[in-house]
Structure 1
Amino acid sequence: MLAALMLLGGCAAGGGPGESGGEPAIGSPPVIRDGTQIKLPLDAYMPEEGVLGKANDLLLQDCVRRYGFSLGAAAAPRPRPRNERRFGIVDAEVAARHGYGLPPEAKAGATGQQRQLAVPNPPPTEVLYGRASDSSRQTVQNYAGKPVPAGGCIGEVRARLSSGAPARADIRLGERLANQAHAQAEHDSRVTSAWALWSRCMAKLGYTYKTPWDAHDDPQWQRRESAGSREIRTARADIACRNETNMVGIWLAVESAYQRRLVEKNSLALAETKKLLDALQRNVADVMAGR
């Protein structure tokens, strides 16, 4: 549902990990011990999807009820910090309890936005999307004697939440640029040097990993319901070496510098994205005000 809501046009973001310009200056790296400390310049250009999704659900429920249908109750997961795991594990206490896995409340947040499919009276395609459910896929304007909005209920919700927003703004631009900066940072000599220091630290503790992602994604602890003792020991060593080398602080400083460069290069498109986000925020506030 949220993906359908977000189809609001797009602007391309150029460049990749090999983009010219050299390695940007970073200043003094911060010391990071908690995922809530990880803030990045492009965060300001990304939607708060938990709040947006809730408003989307409320409006969608209202719309389908007009036709006598219902939707499954969506879970309301506890909000998690946006960048909590951007550089892997950070929090020593969480690592000591869950290894490389997420705590239970975070797992609920990761899956809780999946709408329940077992609903007593789900709406048909004609109501949701405003088109026939048969092979013709023709646009429908009425259902059971009631007018159907353009694009169905999803189209109605999208129009309501994006009211007043620039037509060509790209809500995913900030996310794509952030992914680009992340890839650039992982090729930066200061990050790879920090990884090498971390790797040597881990070797002294008896663990052989070239990069922090090698430890994080070790097949030994994939697809487990809970962390075993070996995973927890490894994660605790990982955290100790991250702290000793300030790897996460360096990594954050470098990625922030690449993000600032991309913000400057894409300032006009990002300004439109910010207008869209501001419009969404106003409209979501209006929806939630009476709830």
Structure 2
Amino acid sequence: MRRPAVFAVSGIILLTACSSENSPQKHETIKSGEINSAGTPWSEKSHLPIEEFLLSSEDAYKISNAKNMAIEDCMHAKGEESFKMPAAVKLPTLLERRYGLSNLAEAEKYGYAFPEGTPAPSPGPLTSRQKALLGDRGKPGGCYVIGSSKVTGRADKATATSPHADKIQSESWRKSFVDSRVQSKFEEWSQCMKSKGVPYKTTMDQPEKNVPMEIQKRIASDAVVCGLSTGILDEWLHVESEIQEKMIKGDISALAKERGEIQAQIKNADKVYKLHNIR
């Protein structure tokens, strides 16, 4: 069966089969030695300079999880031994989908949708006594504030953030997107996609939500293959890294101060983990 052709009409992606069969052909198997879905995803092997100053996905999870443990310890000490906080959630890494899709295994399985993790069991509704002991987030005295402060350092302090680093990572993406080197790679990537019947211009393009999932999976897989084969992911990373390095030099004092706050909370989280015999 011939591969279906793709047409964009008024912003909607339409696919028409080129044979008498109605279902689209699945993404072709990639030969051994070429791009495949095995191995470490590109986004997990690559890093941007600004990540040194941001709260990473792993550290954000650790801080959130440690706060939950400390809050539960407080509640257990007050007689609520069955009390459980909602499970901490691990956020995506900075580079995950930053330049479009890059994980072939996920693209083949989920298309453009985000993988769904196993939902954590709900701790259930709180009793009136638990609500009273937990207290309000903004008021001292309750277990929420007592437990959180074990990690944040003070009762009135929230989880550390990096506003200067966040601003840099946002501005550097916008500047890198319009850089001539990245635009040149977009052209290569677009030609690769056109050869597969998909008229996309940049790696940030994606199907409308009403496009059937099987077709979305095929387009997503093509997008990853073209992204890796044309080298646009590495080139975009290189360009944005250059931009970030210059921006970091101009704001290093503020960035270092913010990073110090993050490291202090990570150290406190490690102390809570140690109390629970977690490494």
Q: What TM-score do the two structures reach when normalised by structure 1? A: 0.67
TM-superposed deviation, 1:185: 1.4
Aligned-partner Cα distance in 2 for 1:161–1:242: 41
2:275 corresponding residue in structure 1: 290
1:172 corresponding residue in structure 2: 162
Does residue 40 (structure 1) correspond to residue 48 (structure 2)? The answer is yes
TM-superposed deviation, 1:77: 5.7
Q: How does 1:14-53 map to 2 (within 5 A)?
A: 34-47=42-55, 48-53=59-64
Q: Deviations over 1:240-259 (max 9, x none)?
A: 22123211111111111222
1:224 corresponding residue in structure 2: none
TM-superposed deviation, 1:267: 0.4
Structure 2 counterpart of 1:271, from 252, 256, 271: 256
Aligned-partner Cα distance in 2 for 1:188–1:125: 55
On the 8 A contact 2:66/2:273 being kept in 1, the answer is yes
Q: What TM-score do the two structures reach when normalised by structure 2? A: 0.69
Aligned-partner Cα distance in 2 for 1:82–1:213: 15
CA pair 101-49 structure 1, distance change in 2 beyond 3 A: same
Q: Which runs of 5+ in 1 are unaligned?
A: 1-31, 132-138, 140-147, 222-226
Does residue 210 (structure 1) correspond to residue 219 (structure 2)? The answer is no
Q: How does 1:185-204 map to 2 (within 5 A)?
A: 185-204=176-195
Aligned-partner Cα distance in 2 for 1:91–1:157: 38
2:35 corresponding residue in structure 1: none
TM-superposed deviation, 1:203: 1.4
2:111 corresponding residue in structure 1: 99
1:187 partner amino acid: V
Aligned-partner Cα distance in 2 for 1:128–1:177: 37
Does residue 108 (structure 1) correspond to residue 114 (structure 2)? The answer is no
Aligned-partner Cα distance in 2 for 1:102–1:130: 31
TM-superposed deviation, 1:93: 2.7
TM-superposed deviation, 1:279: 0.8
2:70 corresponding residue in structure 1: 59
1:240 corresponding residue in structure 2: 225
Q: Deviations over 1:55-93 (max 9, x none)?
A: 010112223445555754433667864422222211223
Q: Deviations over 1:76-120 (max 9, x none)?
A: 6678644222222112233222222333xxx227x75xx947324
Structure 2 counterpart of 1:75, from 81, 87, 91: 87
2:153 corresponding residue in structure 1: 163
Larger RCO of the pair (alpha carbons < 8 Å, separation 6+): 1
Identity of aligned residues (%): 21
TM-superposed deviation, 1:38: 2.2
2:101 corresponding residue in structure 1: 89
Q: Which runs of 5+ in 2 are unaligned?
A: 1-39
Taking only aligned residues, the RMSD between alpha carbons, in angstroms, comes to: 3.3
